Amino acid sequence: MPITRHLGLTTKLMSPPYHPNHITNVSASILAAVLVLGMASCTSSPPEEDPDHPSASSTTDAAVAAEAAAFPVTVTSSVGSATITGQPRRVVTLGWGSSDVAAALGVPPVGIQEISDDTGDYRAVFPWNKNAFAETPELLNPDEIPYEAIAALHPDVILAVSSGITTEEHARLTEIAPTVGYPGRPWQTGWEDLTRRVGTALGRSEAAESLINATDRALSETARDHPEFAGRTVTFAVNTDGTRLREIPATDARYAVLRRLGFATSPTTPCSSPSFHVPRGLETLTDIDADILVVWHLSDRARQTLEAQPTFAEIPAVTSGGYLPVTDPLLGLAVSTATATSVPWALDNGYVDGLADAAEGRTVPGPRD
C-alpha cells in the first residue's frame, strides 16, 4: 500500500504523474558546485607545480588536511552528544534532511530511512540529490528504528539531525556509532542549522557554508524577482483525509523558507507545538487569517473531501484566490523537508509559480467530483 511518512503520519498518497529527469539549473548547479568541495579527497596525486600558482590539486590537499584537523569533534543535541574521532566514510541517516546534506557534501549515506514508496523510483533518494549517489543506499524501515539493520551497515556516524528520536533511542544508537541528534525540538531543525551540523559531523564545514550560501542566493534572487511576496501573510497546513487541517507551527523550517522569500507568518499560525502540527477542525477553518493558504494534500480524495466542505470555501484566502494546493508528492516532500538542496529544487519545480499565483489572487479550488 502506498504510504508517505509525513511528520509521523502514515497516510495513503496518490499523485499526478511526475517527470523525474526535470532537474533545472539552480538546483543542479548548487549540487555540482558543492560536490567539488565536498568530494575533494577523491582526487589523485598532484603533479609538480609552480609554487607561486598553486594548482587545484594543492587546494585539494589543503582541504583534506582541514578535514583531518576537524577531528575529534563533539556535537551536542537535545537528546545527547556525539563525539566523532575521525573522518566518517560510512553514514546512516534517520528522519528527514540529513541524507540530502550528507550527499551534497560528498558523503552519500549507505543507509537512509525510507520516506515514501509512492513517488516512483524515489523513495529515499530524490531528484534534488540523486546525482550525488553512485550506488543505491539501503532503505531502512520508516516505522521504527531498525537497530540491527543499521548495525549491519557498520556506520561511522548516524545522522538524525531532523528527526524524532528520543533520549533512550539516541543512547541505543550511540552503542552502534556516534549519533548526531536535533538541536531543539523534534522535526523542527532549520535548513541552515541542519546543513552546518551535518557539515561539522562530516568534517566538511567549509563545503557546508558554500552550500548554505548558494541556497541563500537562490532564495534572495527569488524574493527579488517576486516583490509581490513581500509582507503577504501565509499559513501552511497538511490535509491527510479531508476531515480537518493540520497546521504547521511557525517554528517549522517551511516557514523559514517562506519568510526568506518575503512572506510573513500569519497571526493565526500556531507559534509552537509540542508536536509538529496543530489540528484545526472544520468548524474553525474560517478563523485562518492569512493572505495565502498553502495546503499539502496527501491524496486526491483528501483534497476533494476538504474542498467540498462549506467552511473551506469561506476561508478568506480561498475566497480571495490566495489558496495554493500542493498535490505533487515530490514537491510536497521538497518543501517540507526544506533542505539546502530540496529548497532550490522546489523553487524550480512549481513552488514559486504557485506562490506567485496565490499572491496575485489567481488560484481556485479544484474540481469536487
What is the C-alpha to C-alpha distance for residues 329 and 124, in angstroms, rounded to an integer?
Answer: 13
The DSSP bridge partners found for residue 257 are none
Burial class (CB in 10 A: 0-12, 13-18, 19+), 148: exposed
Write the pLDDT tens digit of every residue in 138-157.
999 988 999 999 999 999 99
CB 341 within 8 A of CB 100: yes
**Sign of the CA dihedral with 97 first, then 101, 102, and 103 last:** positive
- Measured in degrees and rounded to the nearest 5, phi and psi for residue 112 equal -135, 135
What is the C-alpha to C-alpha distance for residues 110 and 94, in angstroms, rounded to an integer?
Answer: 12
What value, to the nearest 5°, has the Cα angle with vertex 186 and ends 113 and 95? Answer: 10
What is the C-alpha to C-alpha distance for residues 38 and 124, in angstroms, rounded to an integer?
Answer: 21
pTM of the model: 0.81
Cell of 1: 500500500
Question: b/e string for 81-97 if b means 16 or more Cβ within 10 A?
Answer: ebebeebbeebbbbbbb
What is the residue whose three cell numbers read 555540482? 32
C-beta neighbour count of 367 within 10 angstroms: 8
Q: Dump the DSSP string for 174-186.
A: HTTS-EE--SSST
The reported pLDDT for the residue numbered 24 is: 39
Write the pLDDT tens digit of every residue in 275-328.
667 899 999 999 999 999 999 999 999 999 999 999 999 999 999 999 999 999
What would you report as the CA-atom Rg of the chain, rounded to the nearest whole angstrom?
21
- Return all residues near 227 (Cβ < 8 A) that are at least 6 apart: 262
Distances (CA, A) of 294 to 156, 195, 288, 361: 39, 25, 11, 13
What is the residue whose three cell numbers read 493540520? 246
Tens-binned pLDDT, residue by residue, of the chain (369 aa): 333 444 434 332 222 222 333 333 445 545 544 444 444 433 333 344 554 444 444 434 555 566 678 899 999 999 999 999 999 999 999 999 999 999 999 999 999 998 765 555 567 789 999 999 999 999 999 889 999 999 999 999 999 999 999 999 999 999 999 999 999 989 889 999 999 999 999 999 999 999 999 999 999 999 999 999 999 999 999 999 999 999 999 999 999 999 999 999 999 998 866 666 789 999 999 999 999 999 999 999 999 999 999 999 999 999 999 999 999 999 999 999 999 999 999 999 999 999 999 999 998 765 433
